[in-house]
Amino acid sequence: MSLHYPDTSFLCASYRTQEQSPEADAFRQGMDGPLYFTSLLEFEFRQAIELQVWLHGNDRTRGYSRGEADRMIADWESDVALGLNRLLPFDMDAVLRLSFVYSQQRTAHGGHRSLDIFHVATAVQVGATHFLSFDGRQRDLARHAGLAVPL
């Protein structure tokens, strides 16, 4: 069975219209199972949404409105309730240990950010087979970790 684990770029493209949305939507429609996530990924996704609301509140040319954020969160929660997105438990200590390894192996050469490393390590720790991302550096790290990167 395939276990698809996304990063925040994939979730944002799935829940708000942007450049990569058609690709994210087409991929999701072709999936034969749920999209898996952890509480860490859900936190970063919701934090990214709230940051966009803050940006919009300070400069109307940036970010997006509270109403749009609320719609994204409601759509997310609906997909969780329907089983289209499924929460997985994970071992944060194991993720941190694996993150140390990936950081030492790859960051000096690939410029990886902490949360990007955490997401790849989390995907590996939960037994994901596929990693879904529109971030090129994160995709490279996922390949290094042995994950299929279909996008």
Banded model confidence at residue 34, pLDDT cuts 50, 70, 90:
very high
Please state the domain extents for the chain: 4-144
Of residues 33 and 1, more confidently modeled: 33
pTM equals 0.93
Chain segment 57-81, per-residue pLDDT in tens:
999 999 999 999 999 999 999 999 9
Of 31, 32, 38, 1, nearest to 14 (Cα)? 31
Residue 1's pLDDT band (cuts 50, 70, 90):
confident
From the list 41, 39, 30, the residue with the least C-alpha distance to 120 is: 41
DSSP state of 112: -
- Residue 9: what residue type? S
Residue pair 103/112 in contact (Cβ under 8 Å)? The answer is yes
The strand pair at 130-132 and 4-6 is best described as parallel
For the chain, percent of residues with pLDDT exceeding 90 = 97
pLDDT at 104: 96
Q: Is 140's pLDDT higher than 90?
A: yes
Q: Edge-to-edge, what's the strand order for the sheet holding 85-87?
A: 85-87, 35-37, 4-6, 130-132
Task: Please state which CATH class domain 4-144 belongs to.
Answer: alpha beta
pLDDT in tens, 81-113: 999 999 999 999 999 999 999 999 999 999 999
